[in-house]
Amino acid sequence: MPVEFTRVEEFALITLNRPEALNALSVQVVKDIGAAIDAAAGSDARALLVTGAGDKAFCAGADISEFMGRNIVEAMAATELGQKTFAKLDSLTIPSVAVINGYALGGGLELATACTLRVATANARLGVPEIKLGLIPGYGGTQRLPRLVGQGRALDMVMTGRMVAAEEALSMGLINRLVETPAVAGAIAYAREFAAFSLPVLRYGREAVMRADNTALAEGLSIERDLNTLAFQGEDATEGANAFLEKRAPEFKDR
């Protein structure tokens, strides 16, 4: 199967499984990723991890062998499919973590930046090299990269197509953590830093931060006020305060 959907402890795991093509995103692979994200949404997993098979690549981008002979309608449909598929991660009720274990290029980096968080091993190389193909990123890269790393750095990456090493990616905020190999084990340890918290409250926090990208400050503060008030209505907020006052660990119930 070019895309595997499995369970690893309390987490859902999507593995892009075309190591012979550096896990490149054929149209079928993108469709399969969409189905796997839907499966994660319907599961009781605490978070979704996304990685690539093998030790060389997370994903080397869209499958270039499918580019030739596409007409304008087909080219637009492929781009829309990629954008819509990766956007499913924005509305997924559980957080997602890209586990970057090698190259994350083009559509591969776009998949990673659509995830809530990113970890990477020291051999990771991240970039949007589309300019070298006479193209620009098409699966969300021109929009999500500047939101993550700022316009200047995004323009540098989009215009030069250069690869960023893991350390630099960490320093620019493109990844959240460096992890040892095996990368999935490192990602699980990272995900456990948040996965026992209340899932609905994690979602409010994600939503408030994501909305900051495209709202004026006053509107963003209103969104924060409303989501904070909503969180206060939950049993988990009562449990959190009680546990603090009783000097014990909280037991959140996702309510």
Q: Which residues are catalytic?
A: 110, 130
Helix (H) or strand (E) holding 173: none
Q: How far apart are CA 15 and CA 36, in angstroms?
A: 10
The answer to whether residue 76 forms part of the interface with ligand CAA (CB under 6 A) is: no
Q: Which of 1, 42, 65, 134 binds ligand CAA (CB under 6 A)?
A: 65
Measured from the CB atom, the residue of 36 and 104 that comes closer to ligand CAA is 104
Amino acid at 167: E
CB-count exposure of residue 83 (10 Å: 0-12, 13-18, 19+): middle
Q: Are strands 103-105 and 57-59 parallel, antiparallel or unpaired?
A: parallel
Q: Which of 48, 62, 199, 201 binds ligand CAA (CB under 6 A)?
A: 62
Amino acid at 243: A
The answer to whether residue 24 forms part of the interface with ligand CAA (CB under 6 A) is: yes
Measured from the CB atom, the residue of 92 and 109 that comes closer to ligand CAA is 109
The answer to whether residue 30 forms part of the interface with ligand CAA (CB under 6 A) is: no
Helix (H, G, I), strand (E, B) or coil at 150: coil
The answer to whether residue 139 forms part of the interface with ligand CAA (CB under 6 A) is: yes
Helix (H, G, I), strand (E, B) or coil at 62: strand
Q: How far is the CB of 77 from ligand CAA (least distance, A)?
A: 13
Binding span for ligand CAA by CB under 6 A among 61-69, 202-210, 211-219, 235-243: 61-69
Measured from the CB atom, the residue of 46 and 118 that comes closer to ligand CAA is 118
Q: How far is CA 206 from CA 47, 71, 96, in A?
A: 13, 38, 11
The answer to whether residue 102 forms part of the interface with ligand CAA (CB under 6 A) is: no
Is the peptide bond between 182 and the residue preceding it cis, with omega within 30 degrees of 0? yes
Residues that bind ligand CAA (CB under 6 A): 21-22, 24, 60-65, 82, 103, 105-107, 110, 129-130, 133, 135, 137-139, 141
